[in-house]
Structure 1
Amino acid sequence: MALQPAFQASFSLALLHPRYLANWLGLSLLWLLVTFLPWRAQMAIGRGLGRLSMRVLGSRVKIAQRNLALALPELDQAERERLLIANFESVGCAVFETGMAWFWPDWRMRALTRMEGTEHVDAAVNQGQGMLLLSAHFLTLELNARQFGLYRPGVGVYRPNTNAVLEYAQVSGRCRSNKYLVDRLNIKGMLKALRQGDALWYAPDHDYGSHASVFVPFFAVEQAATITGTATLARVKKTVTLPCFTVREANGYRLLIQAPMANFPIGDDRQDAMASNQVIEAAIRLAPEQYMWLHRRFKTTPEGVAYRY
């Protein structure tokens, strides 16, 4: 079946089927909490929720522990344990931040957003360039695209949800301040967005297997499977690659849009993958507790290297 070129929210009566009742109740509760609770209260509850989740998400705790040991061997055991706890606190906060991104009106989102680097967006627009927003799976990722869209609506790359109600919620939420979404497998749709001069949100930092990947350093792991798609997209004519991340701070969020990557891509898959990994790693080091360490980032190994988990 052919992939749809773009996704926008579309409501149908089928979404009201009784089998989706629990989904609607959960989304309604999330809406109530993020709408009526002050932000600081949401973050406090989120941190508590994250600590509680460590007791029931044992397998994810082990994955995060292993990732931290692999990526940050320079930290001692106590430091990694503190980082692990802070990371799960951030996981709890991400529940509320997802609701904020999906349900908050623009004025409330702007009130907690501090933007840096918008001059790079202006320069690209003035030169008629498409923008590849090189991002990563921070736990604030839902806010990242929403906040960028407040300045200039763009196009998001995402993985469709198999649950129809959750799919409707995430598409409608992510399109509150952006144009539309494209399936992460729809390369033609991504290329089209860039050729049209749009900003395309793209996060290539997960382990997607050995297909279309190279093994290059990421943190202390010398051979981390890294997809080559970043360079493929960056090669689109008149496209600039702008690193773009959202960091949670004491009084809100900082949307950091960095200067275009220089001499990128150069046409060498390994060198280009290393360059994008270095940018992402530097961003993660700004707030390592806010990164999605729960994913098996280093699961794919080259021949002769043992499985890391």
Structure 2
Amino acid sequence: MKKTDHKHPRNTDYSAYLSPRWWATWLVIALMWLVAQLPIRCQWVLGKSIGLLAWKLLNRRRHITETNIRLCFPELSDEQKASLVRKTFIANGIGLMELGIAWFRDPAKLTNITYIHGLNHFKKALEGGNGVILLGGHYSTLDLGGSLVTEFIEADVMQRDHNNPLLNAVMTRARERRYGTVLGARDLRGLFRSLQQNHAVWYATDQDYGRKDIVFAPFFGIEAGTITATSRIAERSKCAIVPFSHFRRKGKPGYDIYFHPPLENFPSGDDLEDATRINTIIEKEIRKAPEQYLWMHRRFKTRPDPEDSGFYAGTPTKDA
């Protein structure tokens, strides 16, 4: 895909994307809109097929997923690991279908099959008056889960903009309809402004963002580069940190959203201790439905030793 046009960052005016350059992207968007109109059961079946196709064809992503699962679940047999890899692609294929629901339909129509757990924890945290960080993760229900959350609470969101400016415009406009404010991933000033207004902000720390401002904390028993920004934000704003997650129910359509008690004695003053605590929380949530996590990401790319070739050496550079 083309790189973001930095002359017009996050341009959400559709009239800027009428030239032939964007026609292919518009076709993808139109297909997403059409699929989003199907009954949810049909979307799950279609998503499963897409996931299986990706499992067969996306050699690079499959290799990364296999590596992550081998590292994180050493207790599984080879057959169980292979099964989990396959289920991961299926879950993320369904997640792709749910993206269309989040962007083009009203998630309020799914509240009758959405089950909220621990909402009282969030409400209590908000009573502190210093805002709330909703400590999330990159689950396959990422966009739909976030949209469903806003049916029960008010929240802002931090997002990493898409490399395709038109897809980013569609995503941003969809999220602006659901969230109070859509903040850029590096907009710390906007984040602190939201917290000062006692808002809740969706925030995820569970990816490898490089070597800057990190510590190496265990994640599924593997040292993983983990950002320390969560501790800095909590220290400066005095906000509450509320872990939360969202998963697709197994068997029949439905969704579970979990809010957990706000973290006590956070930050501790020890970045490694804080990062380890956060990783442990996210790991526990992932284990509820491990196939619904984004294992295609190179979570352990950055190693303590810069000369270490890492776990992903030999990853195919191209897909089939």
Aligned to 2:311: 308
C-alpha displacement of 1:107:
2.7
Match of 1:248 in 2: 248
Q: Does 1:131 align with 2:132?
A: yes
1:14 corresponds, among 16, 20, 29, to 16
Offset at residue 214 of structure 1 (A) = 0.4
Tell me the CA shift for residue 124 of structure 1: 2.8
Q: CA deviation at 1:39?
A: 0.9
Alpha-carbon separation, structure 2, partners of 1:24 and 1:283: 36
Query: Do the aligned partners of 2:268 and 2:274 also contact (CA within 8 Å) in 1?
Result: yes
Other-structure match for 2:316 = none
1:238-275 residue CA offsets vs partner (Å, 9 max, x unmatched): 41111111111033111111111122211110000001
Q: Is the 8 A contact 2:107 2:147 kept in 1?
A: no
- Offset, 1:12: 4.0
Farther-moved stretch of structure 1 (91-100 vs 278-287): 91-100
Alignment of 1:151 with 2:155, yes or no, is no
Shift of 1:9: 7.7
Give the aligned partner of residue 288 of structure 1: 290
Give the superposition deviation at 1:164: 2.3
Aligned amino acid, residue 308 of structure 1: F
Task: Report the alpha carbon displacement of residue 159 of structure 1 after superposing the two structures with TM.
Answer: 1.1
User: What pairs up with 1:25-174 in 2 under 5 angstroms?
Assistant: 25-35=27-37, 37-174=38-175
Q: Deviations over 1:174-212 (max 9, x none)?
A: 222211211112222212211221111111000111210
CA distance in 2, matches of 1:215, 1:65: 22
1:199 corresponds to: 200
1:21 is paired with a residue of what secondary structure?
helix
- Secondary structure, aligned partner of 2:209: coil
Report the 3-state secondary structure (helix = DSSP H, G, I; strand = E; otherwise coil) of the residue aligned with 1:286.
Answer: coil
Whole-angstrom CA distance in 2 between matches of 1:104 and 1:117: 26
Cα 1:182–1:33 change in 2 (3 A) is: same
SS of the residue 2:172 aligns to: helix
- 1:275, 1:23 → 2: CA distance? 41
Question: Structure 2: how far apart are the matches of 1:113 and 1:177?
Answer: 16
Conserved 8 A contact 1:8-1:172: no
> TM-score normalized by structure 1?
0.93
Structure 1 segments unaligned to the other structure (5+ residues): none
| Alpha-carbon contact 2:108-2:148 (below 8 Å) kept | no
- Tell me how far 1:8 sits from its aligned partner: 8.4
Change (3 A) 1:66 1:182: same
**3-state DSSP of counterpart to 2:48:** helix
2:265 maps to which of 234, 239, 263:
263
**Structure 1 contact 215–270 (Cα < 8 Å) conserved:** yes
Aligned length: 302
Structure 1 runs of 4+ off > 6 angstroms?
none
CA–CA distance in structure 2, aligned partners of residues 109 and 238 of structure 1: 34
Q: CA RMSD in A?
A: 1.8
**Contact 2:131/2:195 (<8 A) preserved:** yes
What displacement does 1:306 show? 4.5
